[in-house]
Structure formats: structure tokens, C-alpha cells
Amino acid sequence: MSAADWRPGATIEVLHARAAIMRRIRDFFHARDVLEVETPVLGHAGSSDVHLDSLSLSARTPAGDTRLWLQTSPEYHMKRLLAAGSGPIFQLSRVFRDGEAGRRHNIEFTMLEWYRPGFALEELIQEVADLIETVLASPLPQVRLRRYRELFTTHFSVDPLQESPEMLAALRDHAARHAGADTTSWSRDDCCDLLMSLVIEPTLGRDGLDVVVDYPASQAALARKRRDRDGTLVASRFEVYLEGIELANGFDELTDADEQQARFEKDNQQRLALGKPCISTDQKLIDALHSGMPAGCGVALGIDRLIMLALEREDIDSVMAFSLEKC
């Protein structure tokens, strides 16, 4: 500890640039008639996502001592607004993900999340590209759609969407070679996640925006599933990469309440198998979907990372006033 430790991670100059970017983002959405909303950071439901760990706390409420969850994204609340007839909405909110800390991660960070009822995935991808250009204040040389399976066949000559024991063995072998990890018991998704993060991701978004589409159906999270042009069942979602950094995650949103309920249950089975706590189903979200949420697409974008790229910084700490280490 030194006497300089009270100082912010971002310079005052960076904070000015950051504020200007936040203003441009709000202007972007106001110009497109997308309503700014604010939903709770602290909610009764946590995220069931197998690979997200929510922070929780006990609060004294009128109903007595209650376990409340810091939101990993404003998704559930925003979907309830959509079901209530909000129309297109956006939010700049603080979200929390336990255990995520590093050069590009901070447990607490700023998420830009927006929903476009009636939009097809391609329309939302175009809007994401428009927003990124607005924030960077410069045009993107190109926006490319990259199919998940083709990234793997290009890099490893393996198609992870063609289920077979040989495919799994090949993926484990590649994962072991690239990571020095013992991958003998790893699942296909474990291997794919690793190869995506360590090998493919750094090559993406190098001369324009790369948008990865047609994810394995097992990685659908809260996206619809559909058939790709080869007839394989895939997740109707996309991820956006710029300069080797993953910026955003978009879904053709699941609107089927029963399917949603089934996915919550499946998440919890996987959580149990991994020794993680079960997260109780957000019944209010299920009820909202039952009452009817308009079909459409939504996307979440890590604002701190986009600011890192806009200001050519290498470390998330340098664009935040006080990252975890400094707060």
C-alpha cells in the first residue's frame, strides 16, 4: 500500500471522454425513439446461468429478512417491461458477476442492454454496429458474419456441431494442446469455450467488426433455437468482437414461457452437478412470458470494454474511476 492508492484508476481526462461517450449513447437511442429505463440492481431473483455467479445479500424488508440478488444483467426486469408493453427500451446499468476479475473483467461493471420488439437478429446486429461506430466516432471498415462452426473448421478442422466421438476426441486434443490442461473429462462445450477464448477470439475483429452467429444449441441461454442453413439446430444468438475483445451478446429472445421454465430447471440441474447453488426460478418472469412478451431481439454490451477500445486502453481499470482493487 502506498500513499498514492487513493487515486482513481482512470485519469480525469479519461473520465471526461467516458462521460462524452455515455452522452452519445443516450443521444443515439433517443434519436431512435428507444426509451431509457431503470430497473433494480437488487432483485428477488438471481441469474440461473450456469456460468454466472450472482452475489447475494440479506436485507431487512417489510416481508422480513429476505435474500436479495445483485443482478448479473437487467434482463429479467427489462423483459417484464417488454411484456407490459414498453416498446423498445435501453438501459445503462451496473451489474455484478462474482469471481470475474482481470484485465478485462471487474466484478461490478456497466452494461448497456437494449431490446427491440419486432427486430430480426440481422437488424439488431446492424444497430449494434451503428452504435459502436457512434461510440468510436469512426466508421467500421466492415461488419462480417462468422458462423461458429466455420470458425472451428477453419482453425481446427473440426465441426463442433457434428456430434460424434471423434469430434469430441479431436476437440479435447486441441484444447489440451493449446491450454496445457487435462481435458480428458471435459465436455464439448468446455473444449469449445476454451478454444474460442484462447485461440479464436484473439483473431476476431482485427479489420472490422466480427459477429459470430449460429452457436451450438446447448449454448442457447435465453435465445430461441432454429435450424441453420445446413439444417442443424443452433442457438439464434450472436456475439460481437472488436480487436480480439468480446463486446456484446445478442439474442433472438425466447418468448415461450414453458420453454423458459424448462431451461431454468436444466440450468439448475447443471448447477447442482457442478456443486453450485441452485437459483430459484424467477416466477414473475415466467408469468410475464405467459401473459405475452412481443417477439424480438435484445443485446447486452460491456460499456467499459467499448470505452477501452475507443480510448485505446489495455486495461479495464484505466477506464473506471475505481475498479475493485481501488474502491
Partner 1 sequence: MASYSTNEFKGGLKVMLDGDPCNIVENEFVKPGKGQAFNRVKLRNLMTGRTWERTFKSGETLEGADVLDIDMEYLYNDGEMWHFMKTDGSFEQFAADKKAVGDTSRWLKEQVVYTITLWNDNPISVTPPNFIELEVVETDPGLKGDTAQGGSKPATLSTGAMVRVPLFINQGETLKIDTRSGEYVSRA
Query: In terms of Cα–Cα distance, which of 106, 127, 118, 41 is closest to 324?
Result: 106
C-alpha distances in Å from residue 266, one per residue of 46, 49, 272, 281, 286: 15, 10, 10, 11, 15
Provide the minimum distance between the beta carbon of 74 and partner 1 in the complex, in angstroms, as a whole number: 16
**What is the full DSSP assignment across 2-56?**
-GGGGS-SS-HHHHHHHHHHHHHHHHHHHHTTPEE----SEES-----TT---EE
Return the residue of 219, 232, 280, 281 that touches partner 1, per CB under 8 A: 219
Return the residue of 26, 105, 155, 188 that touches partner 1, per CB under 8 A: 105
Provide the minimum distance between the beta carbon of 300 and partner 1 in the complex, in angstroms, as a whole number: 9
Stretch that binds partner 1, among 23-31, 40-48, 87-95, 98-106 (CB under 8 A): 98-106
Query: In terms of Cα–Cα distance, which of 55, 26, 48, 69 is closest to 324?
Result: 55
Between 120 and 179, CB nearer to partner 1: 179
Q: Report yes or no: 19 and 10 within 8 Å, Cβ to Cβ.
A: no
- Binding positions for partner 1, 162-201, rule CB under 8 A: 179-181, 189-190, 192-194, 196-198, 201
Return the residue of 64, 99, 139, 231 that touches partner 1, per CB under 8 A: 99
Between 98 and 265, CB nearer to partner 1: 98
The count of chain residues that interact with partner 1, using the rule CB under 8 A, is: 26
- Binding positions for partner 1, 267-326, rule CB under 8 A: none
Between 140 and 179, CB nearer to partner 1: 179
CA–CA distance, 236 with 297 (Å, rounded to integer):
10
User: Does 239 help bind partner 1 (rule: CB under 8 A)?
Assistant: yes
Provide the minimum distance between the beta carbon of 274 and partner 1 in the complex, in angstroms, as a whole number: 8
Provide the minimum distance between the beta carbon of 180 and partner 1 in the complex, in angstroms, as a whole number: 4
Strands of the chain, DSSP E: 35-36, 42-43, 55-61, 64-70, 89-96, 108-117, 143-147, 209-216, 225-227, 233-242, 245-252, 296-302
Sequence-distant (6+) residues with CB within 8 A of 315 are 103, 308
Between 221 and 310, CB nearer to partner 1: 221
User: Does 252 help bind partner 1 (rule: CB under 8 A)?
Assistant: no
- Binding positions for partner 1, 31-70, rule CB under 8 A: 49, 51
CA–CA distance, 201 with 170 (Å, rounded to integer):
19
Provide the minimum distance between the beta carbon of 124 and partner 1 in the complex, in angstroms, as a whole number: 15
Provide the minimum distance between the beta carbon of 201 and partner 1 in the complex, in angstroms, as a whole number: 7
Between 201 and 228, CB nearer to partner 1: 201
User: Does 100 help bind partner 1 (rule: CB under 8 A)?
Assistant: yes
- Residue 117 Rama label (left phi>0; alpha psi -120 to 50; beta): beta
Catalog residues that contact partner 1 under the rule CB under 8 A.
49, 51, 99-103, 105, 179-181, 189-190, 192-194, 196-198, 201, 219, 221, 239, 246, 248-249
